């Protein structure tokens, strides 16, 4: 059997599926990945901006980067890969989508059970109190301030050195541990603890990625190619092609 048919058989046999997605799933919607070409913004690497230290040093710069990304995301549409995962959820008795992406495209594609382990770009939260809100602001303006306490608001995402939301993370760990199949799509699997989820899988594993990653040799089936087409193929029902 070729790898795609092998992977489709695993998908059809599994009653409990967990999926871990990364920036590669949204790349074909026109959203730059972090570590690939096109990830640069004004010569900054994402790793230089997605930190509490960067925000402390220059909150205006960090907000400009997030507003630029918000504009790209607002103009983007979910692609065939997002849609295929939503379809797979409808067909699978127990299905959990764990995403490192903050863009909200899985929700817009119709996925229901989504664990956003790195937060949500449309959320702003206070650096001084528990205030938070969802807002659609995309145009550059001064750093937004908290209506309750006056401190700066920050993007509601998880930066390097910060803990992941505890309950969401615990649910993600449980979903992977309890799954019969884990699909890992469009992530370089370099950022922890997210990448560590792959090691928790006790069942079969499928990787979908343009390139090899440090986990490729350990997975049951590695599919090389674009997420949009490969996830679409994976979610097709019916007998394998041959």
Under rule CB under 5 A, residue 147 binds Zn ion:
no
Site string for Zn ion, 63-82 (x = CB under 5 A): --------------------
DSSP string, 178-235: H-SEEEEES----STTGGGGGGG--SEEEEEESS--TTGGGSSEEEES-HHHHHHHHH
Q: Which residue is nearest to ligand BJW (CB)?
A: 24
**Of positions 213, 215, 219, 221, contacts ligand BJW by CB under 6 A:** 213
Under rule CB under 5 A, residue 129 binds Zn ion:
yes
Under rule CB under 5 A, residue 18 binds Zn ion:
no
Q: Who's near 130: CB < 8 A, 6+ residues apart?
A: none
> Measured over all CA atoms, what is the biggest interatomic distance in the chain, rounded to whole angstroms?
64
Q: Which helix (H) or strand (E) covers residue 92, if one does?
A: none
Which listed range, 5-13, 54-62, 130-138, 181-189, lies at the site for ligand BJW (CB under 6 A)?
Answer: 181-189
Shortest distance (Å) from residue 15 CB to ligand BJW: 26
**Of positions 37, 93, 161, 238, contacts ligand BJW by CB under 6 A:** 161
Give how far Cα 21 sits from Cα of 25, 97, 127, 182, 214, Å. 7, 8, 28, 11, 16
Phi and psi based region of residue 187 (left: phi greater than 0; alpha: psi -120 to 50; beta: remaining): beta
Q: Strand, coil or helix: what is 155?
A: strand
Phi and psi based region of residue 223 (left: phi greater than 0; alpha: psi -120 to 50; beta: remaining): beta
Q: Catalytic one among 8, 70, 118, 154?
A: 118
Under rule CB under 6 A, residue 33 binds ligand BJW:
yes
118 is known as an active-site residue:
yes
Q: How many residues bind Zn ion (CB under 5 A)?
A: 8
Q: Are strands 119-126 and 153-157 parallel, antiparallel or unpaired?
A: antiparallel
Shortest distance (Å) from residue 217 CB to ligand BJW: 15
Shortest distance (Å) from residue 152 CB to Zn ion: 9
d(CA 56, CA 97): 32
Active-site residue set: 118
Footprint on this chain of Zn ion (rule: CB under 5 A) = 126, 128-129, 131, 146, 148-149, 151
The footprint of ligand BJW (CB under 6 A) covers 22-24, 27-28, 33-36, 50, 100, 102, 118, 157-163, 186-188, 190-193, 209-211, 213, 226-227
């Amino acid at each position: 059997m070729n790898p795609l048919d092998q992977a489709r058989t695993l998908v059809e046999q599994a009653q409990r599926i967990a999926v871990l997605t990364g920036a590669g799933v949204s790349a074909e919607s026109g959203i730059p990945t972090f570590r690939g070409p096109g990830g640069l913004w004004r010569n900054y690497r994402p790793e230089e901006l997605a930190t509490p230290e960067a925000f402390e040093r220059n909150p205006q710069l960090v907000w400009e980067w997030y507003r630029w990304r918000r504009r790209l995301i607002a103009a983007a549409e979910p692609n065939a890969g997002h849609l295929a995962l939503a379809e797979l959820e409808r067909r699978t008795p127990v299905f959990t989508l764990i995403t490192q992406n903050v863009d909200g495209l899985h929700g817009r594609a119709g996925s229901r059970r989504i664990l956003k382990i790195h937060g949500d770009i449309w959320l702003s939260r206070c650096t001084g109190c528990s205030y938070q809100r969802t807002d659609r602001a995309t145009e550059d303006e001064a750093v937004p301030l908290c209506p309750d306490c006056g401190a700066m608001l920050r993007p509601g995402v998880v930066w390097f050195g910060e803990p992941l939301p505890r309950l969401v993370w615990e649910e993600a760990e449980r979903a992977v541990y309890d799954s019969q199949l884990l699909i890992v799509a469009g992530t370089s699997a370099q950022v922890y603890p997210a990448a560590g989820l792959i090691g928790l899988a006790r069942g079969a594993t499928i990787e979908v990625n343009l390139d090899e990653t440090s986990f490729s040799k350990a997975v049951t089936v590695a599919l090389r190619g674009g997420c949009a087409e490969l996830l679409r193929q994976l979610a097709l029902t019916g007998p394998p092609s041959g």
